[in-house]
Chain A
């Protein structure tokens, strides 16, 4: 089977038929993906179909109508699939309540946090980093965990890539065990504080550049808490204004001259 893409399902099918030099009646068509328009082209998806020659095509008249019918049926696999999935989900859910629930039961916050620490330690250990995790600060909405290690560079990653990923993973872990509205922060060797100083310097330098050039400057993409620092640093400036543009995870601060 060969795959073809087109703006619409029909387009894709026609393309396939043309390139294989067969008629629709001789073809076996399988729609993989239905096209979607998107919003101003955002989220646009092209249609994808598989076209192949039928093993033995009977030159009967109703054959062509059959194929068309088949293709129309195939247009809606998403719906049926979804329904099936929902059904099976419900079944599984009810099963869960009876037996496998031990894996999914609601634990109290303290236990989950302790499990989270074990989880992080075992991940980090397999990354080849010897580290121990300690609770640095904690209140009802926020917890700060500190890694004690001699390989902090490896743990932090480029511009905090790895430690930020671990932080988001921790957040997902907590949500998975039913702990919501509880913010995790990971730190090592005072990295967050040092990073905040770097960001403040970056904000000041960028502001000067923007005032000098009179043109807006896009900074590199950053996670939300780092963008917040830039916004906060320049909030009281009379000469520049800041806003964020783009979508996560590529959202970036823009520093622009004040109007």
Chain B
């Protein structure tokens, strides 16, 4: 299976100010492989974008990976709110 941690990091890192503050945690639920992305609070807005524009683009790219399982991948951006 594709290394989603690495993929998400590759996409997100150049877009943020504090690349060292990126952390990704991984959970598996009944239906999804969930990846929780956490960035520096100052970068979270940048990663989400106006109206979720940037987040949507990142998701589209990540979801385009084919997963050989009935579970789907899901990217969740944690913002502590």
Contacts and interface: CB of A to CB of B under 8 A. Distances in A.
A binds B: yes
Interface of A: 85, 88-89, 92, 96, 100, 103-104, 115, 119, 122-123, 126-128, 154, 157, 161-162, 165-166, 168-169, 172-173, 176, 249
Nearest to B18: A100
Contacts of A103: 17, 19
Contacts of A161: 60, 64
Query: What 8 A-B pairs come out closest when comparing CB atoms?
Result: A165-B60, A162-B64, A126-B7, A165-B57, A168-B57, A165-B61, A169-B57, A122-B10
B2 A127 contact: yes
Contact of B61 (A85, A89, A123, A173): A123
Interface string B5-26: 0110011001101110000000
Contacts of A100: 17-18
Contacts of B41: 85, 88
A219 to B, nearest CB: 20
B15 A172 contact: yes
Q: Give the secondary structure class of B's interface.
A: helix
Contact of B10 (A96, A115, A126, A128): A126
Interface string B34-76: 0000000110001001000110111011001100000000000
B30 interface: no
Q: Give the secondary structure class of A's interface.
A: helix
Contact of A123 (B10, B42, B46, B49): B10
Given A157-B64, A165-B60, A126 B3 contact: yes
A88 B7 contact: no
A164 to B, nearest CB: 8
A176 B65 CA distance: 25
B6 A126 contact: yes
A172 B53 CA distance: 10
Contacts of A127: 2, 7, 61, 64-65
Given A103-B19, A123-B10, A127-B7, 8 more contacts: A92-B17, A127-B65, A157-B60, A162-B61, A162-B64, A168-B57, A169-B58, A173-B14
Contacts of A169: 11, 57-58, 61
